[in-house]
Structure formats: C-alpha cells, structure tokens
Amino acid sequence: METSKDPWPALTEIAGDTVGWQFQQPGLAPRAVPFGLVALVATVSVLLPDGDVHSWLEYATSVALLLVCAGAFLLPWQRMSAWAPVLVPLLYTSSVLELILASGVASGVGLVALAPLIWTVLFHRRWESACVVVAVVAVQAAASAVQGAPGAVIGRRVVLWSALCALIAVAAHGLRARIGASLVANAALQAEVRELSLARERERIAADLREGVVRKIFDAGLDLHSAAAMLGEGPARRRLMHGVNELDEVIRALRASVFDLRAGTGAATDTATGTAAGTTATGTATGAARPEADQR
C-alpha cells in the first residue's frame, strides 16, 4: 500500500486488494479522524444543552456500536474475509439509527447517516457502497415509522433518500475511476519521458564517441604506424607496433560500446550504419597500414 503523498489518496484505489486497508496505516489519521469527529459531535450534541435523550438504552447502544467501529481499527484484517470491511460502515449506520431512536426524529441527527455512506464511497468498492445505501435508506424508513409518519411520507422519504444516496455513490465512484485512470496515464507519460531522455543521452554519448574519441585514436594509430615505418626493424619498432595493436583493441571496444548505446535507444538505422562504416574504415585503414609499415 502506498503512502498518502499521492494527490487525492482517498479516491485513487491506492491499496489494491489488501483486505481492510481502510483501517490500517499509512494514512490512517486523515481517513478516520474527520469521521470520528462527526460521530463524536453527533453523540454529544443530543446531551446539550439540557439533554435530548428519550431512551438511554438506545443511546448506550449507539455509543457501544461506535466503540465497536473504533475497535475495528485494531483487528487483524490480513486474516479476515474480503467482505468483512463493509461491516464497519454498516455498524456505523446502525449506530446512527440507535442515536435517532434515542434522541427523536426531530433532533436533527438523521443527516449523520450520510457519514458512513461518504466513508464507503471514498474507501470501499461499489458493491459495498450499494450495501450502505440500502442501510441508510432503511434507517430513514425505520426512523419515520417509529415517528408514526403516514405511509405516503415514509414512501417519499425512502424515494428521496434513495435518490440522494445513489447520486452520492455514483458520482464519487465515477470520480475515483477518472482520477485513477488519470494517475495511470500520468505515470505512463512520465515513464515515456524518462525513456526519451535516456535515449537522447545515449544518442549524445554514442555520437561523441564516434565523432571524437574513435577518430582521435585512429589518427594516433596512423601516426604510430608512420613512426614505426621510419624506425625499421628493432625493439623500438616492435614496441610501437604493440602500441598500435592496443589502440586497435581500444577502437574495437569503443565500437562495441557505440553499438550498444545505439541499440538501447532504438536509434535510426542510417545513423547506426554510419557508425559501422566509420569504425570499419578505421579498422581497414589500420590493417592496411601495418603491411606497408612491415615492408618498409
């Protein structure tokens, strides 16, 4: 799993298929703290200013479910099933239902049911988001039924909450998909730019070797041949010819290096042919100069 240094880490599927990555490091605090604060504020708000709790049993159940959700961050997710992470936002949704029942539908905490949905669309897969959408709509329907709302009102709330939750889920997952595709395209573009830069550098090195070093060594070899021809037979001539042979080996090594560089860049065939022709001419001229020097 990557670190949270990438842009929009919540929307980019950075963790792959690692089970429970949503509840583990790295990047755990930016993911969990905002949702924890929302849950804490909603839970405490029903106690202020004079206390708006109608049923302490439901309130205690809501707090207990929140503590279970918090304990999920300590679970050994590597040994759990792939479907297990969706249980955490579902428990969060159940906690919101208990809080609504404890404080009353008119308390205004019903909107907190969107928090587990937002968590899911940011960090979970599409089918998990669908499960939480159903759970949120069920919470609103159950709260309306407990309130004793007419059937038409309950039906309207179900339709509106279904449309709202589906809109959030579809839009968020679509955004995640587009951002993920953009990151992949950017990574491929950066890799291509690096390859092109490397190819240009190899091309420059190959050109420098061909135009400068090889030609200078070849000229030095010709000068040594001329010097050896003037010396005649003797130790000095043999030493000069040994130096000429060494220069020939250097030229062959440089030629091989040039060919390797050109092959690595995928350079044009004409350029590679020019290199081969230049180096072959070097070897031919050097070889032709040797018999002439030997005869003298």
Domain regions of the chain by residue span: 9-149, 198-295
Closest CA to 99 of 141, 136, 54, 144: 54
pLDDT in tens, 96-151: 999 998 887 677 788 899 999 999 999 999 999 999 999 999 999 998 898 888 89
What is the DSSP track for 138-150?
HHHHHHHHHHT--
For residue 60, the tally of other CB atoms under 10 A from its CB is 13
pLDDT tops 60 at residue 208: yes
Query: 239 with 212: CB under 8 angstroms?
Result: no
Closest CA to 200 of 120, 283, 266: 266
Query: 258 with 206: CB under 8 angstroms?
Result: yes
Specify the pTM.
0.65
Cα–Cα distance measured from residue 136 to residue 120, given in angstroms and rounded to the nearest whole number: 12
Tokens of 277: 């022709």
pLDDT in tens, 62-74: 999 999 999 999 9
Query: 106 with 125: CB under 8 angstroms?
Result: no
